[in-house]
Structure 1
Amino acid sequence: MRSTARHRRFKLKSEINVVPYIDVMLVLLIIFMVTAPMINKNVDINLPQANAKSLQDKKEPIIVAVDEKGQLFLTLGDSKRQPIDVETMKTKVGAFVRANPEVSVLVAGDRDGKYDGVYQVLADLQQAGVAKVGLMSAPESGSKK
């Protein structure tokens, strides 16, 4: 009789207590959320060279070139390459595109230059009213890495 009374008082529970597991999971989630943005700040990449066909236009394109120092150069049609500042480039290219909407506008960036220079030119051309912009590249060299 005594053993049955003790058995009733100390009945075993067959449930799993998941509260500690949830706490550990939330702590790990917070740790991963904090450390994930810090893992890859800079990634070195080698962009592939394209073997794309060149565009065949009837008119000479407008070429905006950005050198490695971020300086801009403009080539309008058959004219020579001229150094230019941002505001003058916006004015000239915007007027030229409004006069000839089918003319191609190309951006050439120096291989050793910063991407920010090319990105800024693209934003400036958009502000100037240029709807379509192409990116220039060098033809693929014969050597493969």
Structure 2
Amino acid sequence: MGLASSGSRRRGRGRGRSRRGVMAEINVTPFVDVMLVLLIIFMVTAPLLVAGVAVDLPESRAETLDQTAEPVQLSIDRDGVISIDDLVIEEGSLSTRLAEIAAEPAPPEGRRVYLRADRSLDYGRVMRVMGELNAAGLNRVALVSVGEGAE
């Protein structure tokens, strides 16, 4: 009887210690849940970061430009529709809108304009838009293209 009572005491103490002891296992389930939610958010938002006007750009061997200030995106699609930063602009009001952009405060290195024109457009059409840019005082124009074989 003495042995049984001391054994039951030990078991009682042992159970008490295991309840109060430090848990040595790491629960990774919340971490995995958060990572999966972030992955889904990035997968949904990544396509939205690309310019919204569909333009078939020509190929070029030129290097990409390094720039810190946000450029003005001027796009001309296959049908000749002109867009400035995803906002469709009538051709008659293009010079007015470009003058407004030129009047805005510019970064120290000057305001940069990215001109994205569809490869099927007439050369004269693109040159008319570049002439409007020049007349508005926006002389830092970069023609956007895709790299060779990047289609």
TM-score (norm 2): 0.52
- 1:123 is matched with 131
Of 82, 86, 89, which aligns to 1:84? 89
Q: CA offsets, 1:100-142, max 9 Å, x none?
A: 4412112111012222221110011112121221111112216
Extract unaligned runs of 5+ from structure 2: 1-57
For 2:71, give the aligned amino acid. Answer: P
Matched, 1:65 2:70: no
| Pairwise CA RMSD | 2.2
Extract unaligned runs of 5+ from structure 1: 1-47, 76-80
For 2:95, give the aligned amino acid. Answer: K
Of 92, 101, 107, which aligns to 1:96? 101
SS of alignment partner, residue 65 of structure 1: strand
Q: Which has the higher contact order (CA 8 A, sep 6+)?
A: 2
Deviation at residue 97 of structure 1 after TM alignment = 2.7
Deviation at residue 91 of structure 1 after TM alignment = 2.4
Equivalent pairs counted in the alignment come to 91
Question: Could you say which structure has the higher helix fraction?
Answer: 2
For 1:84, give the aligned amino acid. Answer: I
Between the aligned partners of 1:115 and 1:142, the Cα distance in structure 2 is 23
For 1:73, give the aligned amino acid. Answer: S
Matched, 1:74 2:79: no
For 1:99, give the aligned amino acid. Answer: E
| Identity over aligned pairs, percent | 24
